[in-house]
Structure formats: structure tokens, C-alpha cells
A and B are shown apart, each in its own frame.
Chain A
């Protein structure tokens, strides 16, 4: 027994001593980013999740990108471009000194053509193949010039070219590696893929041969930690340099901590309650209007969300081009009751409100339930698993009343068509708003390159759309990141894209 005890003690000591590098010691040149999900793929033409995009943007570059911290477009692999009068032909001049990682040669027009054809072709079955919906063809005019032809003008083309789906890949590498390219991507970016341990880490290292301003870090490691408590513990122990925040209590705690920096930016989200306008009692506009008087949004934002969001003043988030602040409500429960009585519901009514089963939606739903109870509307909250929720919501059946959030793009084009047009009923026009004027305005705005016209028609469309009260808009959630003070020059943005341009570690 004594011998056994000795052996066990020695074993225990070995195990503990071998605890890896000291906690909380940042290394200059090495950034550790906490993310909430593991990567699924690093093939830009296949990716659909945000972690994939955050990692991939350092490896594969697009023709253009957003300026750091904003949604202005700036040149990247395309150093300049022109567009024809009719908006159908775009000519891009490419940089001439971009080299692919690990000796895969220079980036030329051939790689750009390959990338676009790969995205839109039948073979790859890319989920976002219709990103550029009017795409017709792409040709290499010379080794550093490509010509993109569209079947209809696309005012939001440049924003689309800043997305992952059109990030340029090495033709040589894709042909060599086949499906393996997805976990060993080759691009032109300031960092190159080094290695990945499934479910644990993704490591990028600096690309010494980068054609542009060199990366400021030697190594970037992405650590997927799905559980928020674990993520916070690891961050607080110094094992991770920066993480996203979605918890108001943690937000307050981190904001009060002088060794940490919190960056909150109004995100590209709007949270709202939706109604199915074609079914009682929501087919009665007075009922919908009554509800807008019955909810105290300010209270929710101040006391429930506490810094996680800002009150919604528009259908679209503040950063979206051509969005106007059309949304405003008054909190007046008496007026709500009066309107309900006028509509024939002086005793109120009961209704189920479907909600995806996470705190992000259940918390506001509970507040809404309490507010509406005061005017006689008895809400039964029905939590539904997210995928089931989205799939059911987009069917003919839909949900009479529900609470959700919707993401948007920096330009309104894709989303305004999906939410506003009568042709999008019921898949994405969940309120079932069928208005020929709105249809005409939206279609006009989508078809022209003239930003003044677009501003005008989109404004009118938003104003009229809002007046239907097909949705009650609650807030715009913030994109929030916290990092230790030894991380310098990090700039958060509305999409939480984790851009690491200029970031350094100074312990």
C-alpha cells in the first residue's frame, strides 16, 4: 500500500507539473482569439458561418474590402476599376505583385476567373452561388485585368465583392488539393494557414512574402470555446486575449475593469416582434397599432439589455446605406387599451408567441409578455428550436406572432427585396405585406446605379412599410468585443468580423 501511495503521489506530481505554459502571460507577436464555434471550412466559396469568415479574411483576399471599422469600400487585389454606362460591364485592374502562399505562384487574372467560375459553376454546389444574382460571365483581358459582365446592373456589387464567397483562391492549389483545399487553403493574404486541431485551435502564421503592408503579428490562434462560462474563465485567466460578449452582467463587470477594454459598436441586427397580417387578431391594423403603444422599449433597453443594444430607430441598423430612422413609438398603455376596445377586443385576447429557445429571444419575450398583460393581451411564450423556427416561419403556415432578430448587409439591396417585396411572401416577407407601391419603389431602387434615386425610393418604401406595423421593432443589438489591455490597435466593427490589421501585443 505504501509503495502504491508513493507511486500515485509521484504520478500526480508529474501530471500537475506538466501543466502547460503559465497562465496569463501574453507573448509579443502572438494573438489568441476566442470564438464561439469551431471552423467548418476554410474554403471561401463554401463558407457560411462567421468563424470561418473571420479566419479566412486573413488568408484569402477579395478584389476589394471594407475600410477598417467602416463599410466604405477600398481596393485590395483590384487596384482600380471602371464600370460601363449601362452598369453591365465592370473592368478590374489587378495588383501585379501578389503572390500565393507556400510557393503557389503569382496571382493573375486566371485565378480571378477561376474563382468566380468555381463559385457560380455546377460542380462545387456552393451555397452562395447566387450571391451576384445577375452574374453572366468573367473573362481575363490580360494577365492583370478582368472583365465582369452582368445581365442587370447591380448597385451593391462592390459590397458583394468584399464578401468571402468571391475571395480569390489559387487555381493551382485548388486543382492540386481538391477537397483538401478546404482545410489547407492557399491565398494571398498577410497570414497563411499553418495548422488546425479539430475542435481546439486554428493557427495562422505571418506571410513573410505579403504584397501589401506586412502583418503586425507572427502568430494568430483562434480558439473555439462554445460554452460562454468557459470562454470567460479562459479569458479572465489570460489564456485568451479577446472574446465576444453577449451577457449584460459580464459586460458591466468588464467595463468596470481597468485592465480590460470593451468595444461596443451598433451591429447589423434588428430585433423585433412579428405578426402574420393575414390572420386574426393581427389582420386588424388597430390591434397591431395597439401593441405598439403597449410595450415599454426604453425600459427593456435600459434595464434588461443594459448596454447590449440600442433602441431601434429604424427597420435597418444604423450602418446600413440608405436606411432612415423611420421607427418611433410612444409608450401609452391607456391608448393601447382604447385601440383594442375600438377593434372589438376590450377584454383583450390570448395568443401564442413563438420564440427561438435562447436567452437572446426569451429574455425580451418575457418583458414583452409582462407589458402586454397590462393591457389585457395574454401571451403564451412558446420556445422553439432555432432551425425548426426559421424553417416553419418561412412556410405558408408561418407563425401568427413571434420574436426574432434579422441580420443585414451594409447595403440594403439583398435584404430590402426579401423583406418588402410581395413576391417574397411567405418565405422572407413574413408579415405578408402586399403593396404595389412598395414593390415599385423597391424594384426601381434595385435596378438603378443612381444612389440619389435609390435613397429616395428606399426612403419612401421604408416609411410606408413601417406604417403597416407588420413588425414591432425593439432594438439594434451591438457587436461587442472585450480584450486585455496588452492588445493594441484593435478596432471592432458592426459585423464583429475580428479584423486584426495593425494589432500588436505589448505585455
Chain B
């Protein structure tokens, strides 16, 4: 019963989330550095810094600060950025769509390019196509995505002008997609390699099964055997790897967002960390923990759907 499973998992997630924010809170305190120093610069006097720290509650005992923080989170109040004074929810909300778009774009590229590559490699195992696709996927993993991004941007945006050099588009659907192409390709390349390899292994295994021999004996076309029968059975490990890769993808968005000057959660987190904007760091980490839990939940729930033999 999927509903039951989902509920169980969500309840189990609560202590996980709590643990995550506790860890983040205390680890942040351990890092040397001071948000007020970041704001006021190296030329601020000790008095000025202390006064601002006091007014922001940063000089209160840790236990007090933690209780204040936990209390707020329990009521859904994620606090206010030390720098912009905007609610953390707003800061995140303004950047989340762009990051989600990019992450999905990366997943799409990884799957749309990786799965056919893996299937082809498995179906023509040992051939030139197999070796070529393995080689390409290895390249995808080894070339740093920062470099790939800059090269793609230089060639297709700067020189050819097919895509914008920066930003996430001017709002319309096509403009958004247009601005997503190069960043998604950059992000998806490493994922594509992973998906291709996993697909190939899973397909090879599936193609060696009895039901494939039966299907062939029945005279079904190659296409039907491979795509309809074998691939569906190979889907579970592929979906699992895509889900696991999602976390890696979220991390990878930071670099891609930087190269393509897109707004994003990764950049928000990085900037907030460097500036010691604690409320923002805590908020983003919390969100990432939530997203992780959700994605893994979805992957787990998909499995019984894909393969009735798997118990919910």
C-alpha cells in the first residue's frame, strides 16, 4: 500500500530533518568568522562590531540562540538574512525555481542521452558502438563540468549566438528553455556517463534472461524485445541511480550556475557561507535535506510500480 509506505517514510523523516538542522546549527558556530565583520569590513572598530552583533542577538549564549532558532523553525519561521534583511523563505523562493529547472534539465539530459547510449551499447555489445559510447561516457565524467560549461558557452553562446551567455531567460517558456540548454548539457554530461553505464549493465543482464529468449522465439521485432521488454525490467536500477545522482546533481548546480550566471540555491548557499549569513545557510541546508528525503522517497515508491515483484 503505497500511501501507507509514504506516510511511514514521511514520519521517519522528521527526526532526520531535526538531526540535520541541529548539526548544521552547531557546525556553523564552529567555523571561525563573523557575519558582522563581513558586513562592516576590515576597517570596523571593535565597538561597532560588538554593537551590531549585540543587536542581532549574535552575542547571546549558544543555548539561547539555539532555542530561539529551533522555536522559529518549529513554527515555520525560517528567519531573516543578516545581510539583506529579507526573509530566508523569500531568498530561497526566488532562486529555487531556477535551480529545480536546471536540476531537472540535467536529469533529462542524463536520461535522454544516457539511456539510449546504454541500450545501444548493450544491444550491440562488443562492437564499435559499444566502445565509442563507453569512451564518450568516460569523457563526460573526467572533464570538469566547469570547463565543459565555459567551452560550450564560448562556442555556442558567445561565438555562434544561438544561446544567451548569461541568465535564466527573460520569462517566456521558450526563452527559459533556450537559456537552459547549455547549462543542462553541462550538468547532465557527468550524469549521462553514469546512467549510460548503469543502463548498459542492467540491459545486458536483462537481455540474458529467459523471457527475452522467449520473446525472440515468438518472433517479436528487435525493437519490441529491447525497448518494451528488456528495458522495462532494467528500469529499476536505472531509476535508482538517477535518484541517487540527484544529490550529486544539486551540488553540481553551483558550478554551472556560476559559469552561466544563473540565480540558484547553490550560489546562495556558497555566498551565505562565505559571509557567515547563518539564517540563510541553515534555511538552504534544511531545504536540501527535505529535497533529498523527497527524492529518495519517490525513487522507493516508484520501484513497486515498475516491478510488481518488489514488495511495497
Chain A residues in contact with chain B, CB under 8 A?
14-16, 18-20, 22-23, 37-38, 40-41, 43, 46, 48-49, 122, 125, 127-130, 179, 182-183, 197-201, 223-227, 229-231, 233-234, 236-237, 239, 385-388, 390-394, 404, 406-407, 414-415, 418, 424, 427-428
Question: Judging by beta carbons under 8 Å apart, are A387 and B38 in contact?
Answer: yes
Question: Which residue in chain A gives the minimum CB-CB distance to B54?
Answer: A125
Q: Identify which of B38, B48, B85 contacts A46 (C-beta below 8 A).
A: B85
Shortest Cβ distance from residue B170 to the other chain A in the assembled complex, whole angstroms:
6
Question: Judging by beta carbons under 8 Å apart, are A223 and B166 in contact?
Answer: yes
Question: Which residue in chain B gives the minimum CB-CB distance to A122?
Answer: B55
B178 — which chain A residues lie within 8 A by C-beta? 15-16, 18-20
Interface locus among B16-24, B28-36, B228-236, B281-289: B28-36
A14 — which chain B residues lie within 8 A by C-beta? 174
Shortest Cβ distance from residue A432 to the other chain B in the assembled complex, whole angstroms:
14
A19 to B44, CA, bound (A): 47
4 shortest interchain CB distances as A-B pairs = A199-B263, A198-B94, A18-B174, A387-B33
10 A-B pairs whose Cβ atoms sit less than 8 Å apart in the complex: A18-B178, A23-B158, A40-B84, A197-B263, A198-B94, A230-B150, A234-B166, A237-B157, A390-B38, A428-B44
Shortest Cβ distance from residue A60 to the other chain B in the assembled complex, whole angstroms:
16
Query: Does residue B43 face the partner (Cβ distance < 8 Å to A)?
Result: yes
Question: Which residue in chain B gives the minimum CB-CB distance to A18?
Answer: B174
Interface locus among B124-132, B190-198, B253-261: B253-261
Question: Judging by beta carbons under 8 Å apart, are A233 and B39 in contact?
Answer: no
Question: Which residue in chain A gives the minimum CB-CB distance to B261?
Answer: A225
A392 — which chain B residues lie within 8 A by C-beta? 32
Interface centre among A15, A22, A230, A388 (most CB of B within 10 A): A230
Question: Judging by beta carbons under 8 Å apart, are B86 and A179 in contact?
Answer: yes
A388 — which chain B residues lie within 8 A by C-beta? 31-33
Query: Does residue B200 face the partner (Cβ distance < 8 Å to A)?
Result: no
Question: Judging by beta carbons under 8 Å apart, are B42 and A428 in contact?
Answer: yes
Question: Which residue in chain A gives the minimum CB-CB distance to B32?
Answer: A388
B271 — which chain A residues lie within 8 A by C-beta? 37
Question: Judging by beta carbons under 8 Å apart, are A19 and B162 in contact?
Answer: yes
Query: Does residue B295 face the partner (Cβ distance < 8 Å to A)?
Result: no
B45 — which chain A residues lie within 8 A by C-beta? 418, 424, 427-428
Query: Does residue B161 face the partner (Cβ distance < 8 Å to A)?
Result: yes
A199 to B32, CA, bound (A): 27
Question: Judging by beta carbons under 8 Å apart, are B46 and A407 in contact?
Answer: no
Question: Judging by beta carbons under 8 Å apart, are B98 and A199 in contact?
Answer: yes
A414 — which chain B residues lie within 8 A by C-beta? 43
Known: A41-B85, A230-B165, A230-B261. A418 touches B43 (CB 8 A): yes
Question: Which residue in chain A gives the minimum CB-CB distance to B270?
Answer: A226
A230 to B56, CA, bound (A): 36
Question: Which residue in chain B gives the minimum CB-CB distance to A384?
Answer: B32
Q: Mark B159-172, 1 if CB is under 8 A from A, else 0.
A: 00111111111100
Interface centre among B42, B167, B178, B274 (most CB of A within 10 A): B42
B51 — which chain A residues lie within 8 A by C-beta? 129-130
Shortest Cβ distance from residue A390 to the other chain B in the assembled complex, whole angstroms:
5
Known: A199-B98, A227-B258, A387-B34. A20 touches B166 (CB 8 A): no
A46 to B153, CA, bound (A): 36
Q: Identify which of A15, A229, A415 contacts B174 (C-beta below 8 A).
A: A15
Question: Judging by beta carbons under 8 Å apart, are B98 and A233 in contact?
Answer: no
Known: A125-B52, A125-B55, A387-B34. A199 touches B95 (CB 8 A): yes
Question: Judging by beta carbons under 8 Å apart, are B36 and A127 in contact?
Answer: yes
Question: Judging by beta carbons under 8 Å apart, are B263 and A16 in contact?
Answer: no
Question: Which residue in chain A gives the minimum CB-CB distance to B276?
Answer: A387
Shortest Cβ distance from residue A186 to the other chain B in the assembled complex, whole angstroms:
17
A150 to B34, CA, bound (A): 31
B165 — which chain A residues lie within 8 A by C-beta? 23, 230, 233-234, 237, 239
Question: Judging by beta carbons under 8 Å apart, are B85 and A182 in contact?
Answer: yes
B261 — which chain A residues lie within 8 A by C-beta? 199-200, 223-227, 230-231, 234
Question: Considering the complex, which residues of chain B in the window 39-73 have a beta carbon less than 8 Å from any beta carbon of chain A?
Answer: 39-49, 51-52, 55-56
Shortest Cβ distance from residue A288 to the other chain B in the assembled complex, whole angstroms:
21
Given contacts A16-B162, A233-B158, 10 further A-B contacts (CB under 8 A): A22-B161, A49-B83, A125-B52, A183-B86, A200-B168, A201-B167, A385-B274, A387-B38, A424-B46, A427-B46
Question: Judging by beta carbons under 8 Å apart, are A198 and B181 in contact?
Answer: no
A226 to B261, CA, bound (A): 7
Question: Which residue in chain B gives the minimum CB-CB distance to A409?
Answer: B43
Question: Judging by beta carbons under 8 Å apart, are A19 and B55 in contact?
Answer: no
B260 — which chain A residues lie within 8 A by C-beta? 230
A48 to B82, CA, bound (A): 11
B161 — which chain A residues lie within 8 A by C-beta? 19, 22-23, 237
Shortest Cβ distance from residue B187 to the other chain A in the assembled complex, whole angstroms:
15
Shortest Cβ distance from residue A459 to the other chain B in the assembled complex, whole angstroms:
21
A386 to B33, CA, bound (A): 9
Shortest Cβ distance from residue B29 to the other chain A in the assembled complex, whole angstroms:
13
B84 — which chain A residues lie within 8 A by C-beta? 40-41, 182
Question: Judging by beta carbons under 8 Å apart, are A127 and B158 in contact?
Answer: no
Query: Does residue B13 face the partner (Cβ distance < 8 Å to A)?
Result: no
B276 — which chain A residues lie within 8 A by C-beta? 387
Query: Does residue B216 face the partner (Cβ distance < 8 Å to A)?
Result: no
Shortest Cβ distance from residue A23 to the other chain B in the assembled complex, whole angstroms:
5
Shortest Cβ distance from residue A271 to the other chain B in the assembled complex, whole angstroms:
13
Query: Does residue B222 face the partner (Cβ distance < 8 Å to A)?
Result: no
Q: Identify which of B163, B259, B263 contacts A200 (C-beta below 8 A).
A: B263
Question: Judging by beta carbons under 8 Å apart, are B164 and A19 in contact?
Answer: yes
Interface centre among B32, B38, B165, B276 (most CB of A within 10 A): B165
Question: Considering the complex, which residues of chain B in the window 201-258 have a beta carbon less than 8 Å from any beta carbon of chain A?
Answer: 258
B158 — which chain A residues lie within 8 A by C-beta? 23, 233-234, 236-237
Question: Judging by beta carbons under 8 Å apart, are A386 and B274 in contact?
Answer: yes
Question: Judging by beta carbons under 8 Å apart, are A227 and B259 in contact?
Answer: yes
A130 to B56, CA, bound (A): 16
B166 — which chain A residues lie within 8 A by C-beta? 200, 223, 225, 230, 234, 239
Shortest Cβ distance from residue B65 to the other chain A in the assembled complex, whole angstroms:
16
Question: Judging by beta carbons under 8 Å apart, are B153 and A233 in contact?
Answer: yes
Question: Judging by beta carbons under 8 Å apart, are B164 and A239 in contact?
Answer: yes
Question: Which residue in chain A gives the minimum CB-CB distance to B179?
Answer: A20
A427 to B259, CA, bound (A): 37
B175 — which chain A residues lie within 8 A by C-beta? 18, 20
Question: Which residue in chain A gives the minimum CB-CB distance to B46?
Answer: A427
